[in-house]
Amino acid sequence: MRVGNFYPHKNVEGLLTAFKGFLYDNYDNHDAKLVLVGKQDYFFKKVQRLIEKLNIGSNIIFFENVSDPELRLLYSNATATIVPSFSEGFSLTVVEAMSLGCPVIASDIPVHREICSNAAIYCNPNDINDLTQKISFTFSLVEESRRELIEQGKRRAKQFSWRKMASETLKIYNSAISY
């Protein structure tokens, strides 16, 4: 599953190419589905053309304008959430996924390392083969390893909250005002 916009720095095109490799890597993968959640904007149209070019349309499920309960349901039922971005400001998607018990495959960039720590499977966003391998690896996790990754993610996600962010922001504002 992939949640968010389809801007080029999100590397959705790389994800689609890696997903095609995953589909044809092993016969058992042919029926796997990649769920995309986002808006049908200009960038989505480019992604849609690539889906057609790669001939993987029957393996893609697209959702737009999902409610919070629907998004929770998607996260809770996904094999993994994949965030292969080249860059991120703060990756709320990985925190949401981890908090809802969804394993995360994230690009090996500083923000993901800071947020996920040891609670994600990391991939090189510039290496399609590496991303394909990480998708295959995640799909092949034995139940015990999957459960361990989920628990690590849940523990890590507890480090982040809107209340904590607001409190820390207020401290910064107060210290700036006191000068």
Strand ranges in the chain using DSSP code E only, listed in sequence order:
2-3, 34-37, 60-63, 81-83, 104-107, 121-123
pLDDT category at 168 given cuts 50, 70, 90 is: confident
Beta bridge partners of 37: 3, 63
Q: What would the pLDDT profile of 117-162 be if each residue is shown by its tens digit? A: 999 999 999 999 999 999 999 999 999 999 999 999 999 999 987 7
Between residues 178 and 117, the one the model is more confident about? 117
What gap in Å lies between CA 117 and CA 126, rounded to an integer? 20
- pLDDT tens digits for 33-79? 999 999 999 999 999 999 999 999 999 999 999 999 999 999 999 99
Q: What is the DSSP letter of 125?
A: T
- Amino acid making up residue 113: R
For 26: left if phi > 0, alpha if psi spans -120 to 50, otherwise beta; the answer is beta
For residue 22, name the pLDDT band (cuts at 50, 70, 90). very high
pLDDT band at 9; cut points 50, 70, 90: very high
Q: What is the pLDDT of residue 30?
A: 86
Q: Average of pLDDT values for 8-22? A: 97
3-state SS of the chain: helix, strand, coil percent to 5?
60, 10, 30
Question: From CA 86, how far away is CA 93, in angstroms rounded?
Answer: 14
Q: Give the separation between CA 51 and CA 16, rounded to whole angstroms.
A: 7
Residue reference for tokens 């929770």: 72
**Alpha-carbon 104 to chain mean position:** 6
| Tokens standing for residue 145 | 């390893």
User: What value does the mean pLDDT of the chain take?
Assistant: 94
